[in-house]
């Protein structure tokens, strides 16, 4: 398979739940992440080409949970292998410097998935 993405994405073996920061509605869970985007596994389609403010928590190398809030842009959606689920590609468009540093460090961990 020829990798066409700008940034390498790492799969998430644990569960990282994602919610809409504006209304608290659950959106799904993270399937994989990079320093510039993520794939959301969701029970429903999201609006095409829409902007979202999402929140989730990442666990650092010391086991501490860190809440993050980022702005993302929906890039694509496709039906997942599991019926009733969707894979949604999202590009990060707004992230604080602290959250970007946390994400970068989390991606570099040998055990990058939450525990």
Instruction: Determine the CATH number of domain 10-108.
Output: 2.40.10.220
pLDDT confidence bin for 7, thresholds 50/70/90: confident
CA gap 1, 46 in Å, rounded: 27
Domain boundaries, the chain: 10-108
Q: Is 33 helix (H, G, I), strand (E, B) or coil?
A: strand
Averaged over 4-10, what is the pLDDT?
69
pLDDT in tens, 24-63: 999 999 999 999 999 999 999 999 999 999 999 988 778 8
What pLDDT is recorded for position 111? 58
Tokens for 86, please give them: 């969707």
pLDDT band at 4, cuts 50/70/90?
A: low
Distances (CA, A) of 32 to 22, 23: 23, 24
Q: What is the pLDDT of residue 42?
A: 98
What are the tokens at 29? 């869970």
- Beta strands, E only, the chain: 10-11, 17-20, 26-33, 37-42, 51-59, 65-79, 86-94
Report pLDDT digits (tens) over 87-103: 999 999 999 999 999 99
Mean pLDDT of 106-113: 71
């Amino acid at each position: 398979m020829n990798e066409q993405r700008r940034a390498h994405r790492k799969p998430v073996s644990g569960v990282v739940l994602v919610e809409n920061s504006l209304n608290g509605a659950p959106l799904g869970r993270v399937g994989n992440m990079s320093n510039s985007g993520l794939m959301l596994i969701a029970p429903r389609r999201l609006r095409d080409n829409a902007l979202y403010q999402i929140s989730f928590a990442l666990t650092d190398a010391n086991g501490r949970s860190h809440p993050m809030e980022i702005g993302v842009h929906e890039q694509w959606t496709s039906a997942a292998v599991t019926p009733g689920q969707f894979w949604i590609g999202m590009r990060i468009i707004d992230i604080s410097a602290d959250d970007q540093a946390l994400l970068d460090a989390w991606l570099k961990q040998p055990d990058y998935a939450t525990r």
